[in-house]
Amino acid sequence: NAGVTQTPKFRVLKTGQSMTLLCAQDMNHEYMYWYRQDPGMGLRLIHYSVGEGTTAKGEVPDGYNVSRLKKQNFLLGLESAAPSQTSVYFCASSYSIRYNEQFFGPGTRLTVL
């Protein structure tokens, strides 16, 4: 049981490049989330999904897109990376929002030059 996994672990991009971060969970969770963590800002929600085929915006969605084609996978895309998107990105999942704890992946450290 791997829990929540994320690929890649590290990435360096140039401004304007694009990339996709992959999150996978093997716990059959309905809910999945993408957060970013910045020094002094805490973790903030980018996008989330309440089930296969659904996505919704979080607190800081601008510059990102997501897709959830399969229940176990949640993809985060950056179409045109900007230095302001330099951050550590965490994926999380849970059975429900209200009653169950969220489980986090190990994170992806992204640097945009």
Partner 1 sequence: KQEVTQIPAALSVPEGENLVLNCSFTDSAIYNLQWFRQDPGKGLTSLLLIQSSQREQTSGRLNASLDKSSGRSTLYIAASQPGDSATYLCAVIRPGANNLFFGTGTRLTVIP
List residues near partner 1 by CB under 8 A. 4, 33, 35, 40-45, 48, 50, 56, 58-59, 90, 92, 97-107, 109
Q: How far is CA 83 from CA 1, 14, 78, 95, 96, in A?
A: 35, 8, 12, 34, 34
Q: 17 or 103, CB closer to partner 1?
A: 103
CB of 48 to partner 1, least distance (A): 5
Q: 63 or 107, CB closer to partner 1?
A: 107
**Residue 103: Cβ-neighbour burial (10 angstroms; 0-12, 13-18, 19+):** middle
Q: 13 or 105, CB closer to partner 1?
A: 105
